[in-house]
């Protein structure tokens, strides 16, 4: 239990603030209830006493203190619920149901409300309420009412009000503690993950509770962000390893050739020129690989392709047909195109051209003579624009299709062909940078011992 820590949390402070506001409102409400219940009881009793007093004063005015005394006795006999006490001008008791005036505090005023203890006819000290008035003849008349029954009622109400107040504070405090503990627990989970990530543990994830609140939303967002981060760091790490791996062998070859060339120049035998030419070619290959990796890394880092503008995909495809048609013819490949006109797509034309060029390069490279390559541009029913290249080459086994998109992945049967295995990785990066996707699946199928071919599609989301 992290209670001391909990007391310092923002939710708990907010709880206290709201509790204070709530308690103030509740106090005002309870005060009002007190006023209308307890207040009403005493007002009601006071009104009765006042009426009795007025009635007795009328009797006194008509017949003096003798008549008053008679009336008092009469009233007491008839069971009226009042106490009476009549004193003469010197303060001596003339008649009454109580032995003496409850207090001596009335000398200055004729009328007063007060509480007093009752003994005499009704034993014990009981709370009562009464009024004393000095009569014109100097006598003092006291009329009181037993308040003990109302007192029980009032005490109960006051107790209930105090109880309600305490309950409000307790419930508020308890509820606040529970709420702040839940909130703190959610926040603590998030904080723990952030701290773990700061310490380098990229695999830390927030445990989801299945609630659909904003903390869950934040947790899901944080997890997604970490997934993405982990993927891109992983892919960068992979790229770094791959570059190191892929550049190491041509660089070692280059170094060896230069050493040999140097040796040959020194000893005057062999042909250093050829070694130098080969070294230059190796350098070219290293640089090409490097540029491709850099282009992919930049696209991935930027997240979206720069300078995106609407353009006609059919026009781009026609340019590609024009560029690749001769090379297909030279390799005895039938090149067909099926281009939908009047489409529009938003993107970086140069990057998309390069992606198409990479796909076409692959088709031309891997399709044996006598085969066919087809470039197709169409609008899907979803409105997305699809560029696809289908060939009649050996294709890619289903198990390898996801893998060929990764950097530097070259399938066994392509190792003897030129290339660094970056072509489709760049296409995938271009697709992702346009919010689109790359699809790799089977071509037209087996046909007279050839095939099944490959179909590579670059799908771009519809413009706007």
Partner 1 sequence: MRILIIEDDVEAGAAMARGLAEAGHETVHAPDGVQGLKAATDGEFDVLVVDRMMPNMDGLTMVSNLRREGDQTPVLFLSALGEIHDRVTGLKAGGDDYLVKPYALVELVARVEALARRRETGAVQTTLRVGDLEMDLIGRTVHREGTEIDLQPREFQLLEYLMRNAGQPVTRTMLLEKVWEYHFDPQTNVIDVHVSRLRSKIDKGFERPMLQTVRGSGYRLDA
Q: Which residues bind partner 1 (CB under 8 A)?
A: 277, 280, 284, 287-288, 291, 298, 306-307, 319, 322-324, 326-327, 329-330, 348, 350, 353-354, 357-358, 360-361, 364-365, 418-419, 423
Please give the radius of gyration of the chain, using alpha carbons only, rounded to the nearest integer. 51
Measured CA to CA in angstroms, residue 443 lies from 363, 397, 447, 457 at distances of: 11, 11, 11, 11
Closest CA to 84 of 149, 47, 75, 46: 75
What backbone phi and psi angles, to 5 degrees, belong to 114? -160, 165
Cα separation, 249 vs 264, in Å, equals 22
Task: Rank residues 222 and 363 by Cβ distance to partner 1 and give the closer one.
Answer: 363
The Cα–Cα gap between 84 and 144 comes to 7
Residue 210 backbone class (left: φ over 0; alpha: ψ -120 to 50; beta: rest): left
Minimum gap (Å) between residue 362 Cβ and partner 1: 8
CB of 238 to partner 1, least distance (A): 22
């Amino acid at each position: 239990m992290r209670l001391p820590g909990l007391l310092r949390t923002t939710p708990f402070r907010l709880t206290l603030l709201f509790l204070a506001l709530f308690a103030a409102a509740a106090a005002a409400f309870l005060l009002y209830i007190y006023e209308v219940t307890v207040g009403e009881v005493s007002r009601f009793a006071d009104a009765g006493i006042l009426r009795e007093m007025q009635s007795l004063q009328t009797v006194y005015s008509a017949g003096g203190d003798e008549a008053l005394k008679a009336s008092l006795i009469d009233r007491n006999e008839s069971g009226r619920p009042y106490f009476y006490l009549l004193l003469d001008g010197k303060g001596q008791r003339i008649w009454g149901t109580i032995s003496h005036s409850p207090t001596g505090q009335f000398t200055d005023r004729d009328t007063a409300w007060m509480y007093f203890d009752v003994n005499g006819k009704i034993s014990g000290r009981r709370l009562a309420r009464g009024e004393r008035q000095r009569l014109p003849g100097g006598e003092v008349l006291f009329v009181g009412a037993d308040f003990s029954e109302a007192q029980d009622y009032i005490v109960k109400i006051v107790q209930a009000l105090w109880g309600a107040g305490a309950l409000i504070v307790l419930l508020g405090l308890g509820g606040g503690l529970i709420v702040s503990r839940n909130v703190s627990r959610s926040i603590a989970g998030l904080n723990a993950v952030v701290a773990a990530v700061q310490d380098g543990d990229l695999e830390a994830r927030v445990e989801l509770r299945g609630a659909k609140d904003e903390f869950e939303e934040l947790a899901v967002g944080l997890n997604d962000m970490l997934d993405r981060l982990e993927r891109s760091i992983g892919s960068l790490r992979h790229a770094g390893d791959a570059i190191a791996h892929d550049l190491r062998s041509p660089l070692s070859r280059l170094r060896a050739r230069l050493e040999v060339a140097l040796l040959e120049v020194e000893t005057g035998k062999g042909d250093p020129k050829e070694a130098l030419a080969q070294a230059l070619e190796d350098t070219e290959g290293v640089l090409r690989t490097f540029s491709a990796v850099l282009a992919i890394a930049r696209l991935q880092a930027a997240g979206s392709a720069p300078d995106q503008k609407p353009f006609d995909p059919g026009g781009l495809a026609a340019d590609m047909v024009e560029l690749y048609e001769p090379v297909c013819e030279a390799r005895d490949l039938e090149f067909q195109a099926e281009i939908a006109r009047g489409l529009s797509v938003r993107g970086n034309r140069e990057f998309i051209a390069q992606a198409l060029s990479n796909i076409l390069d692959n088709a031309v490279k891997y399709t044996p003579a006598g085969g066919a390559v087809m470039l197709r541009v169409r609008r899907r029913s979803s409105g997305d624009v699809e560029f696809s290249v289908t060939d009649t080459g050996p294709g890619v086994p289903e198990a390898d299709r996801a893998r060929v998109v990764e950097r530097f992945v070259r399938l066994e049967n392509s190792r003897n062909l030129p290339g660094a295995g970056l072509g489709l990785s760049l296409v995938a990066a271009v697709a992702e940078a346009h919010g689109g996707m790359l699809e790799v699946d089977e071509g037209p199928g087996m046909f007279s011992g050839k095939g099944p071919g490959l179909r590579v599609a670059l799908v771009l989301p519809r413009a706007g």
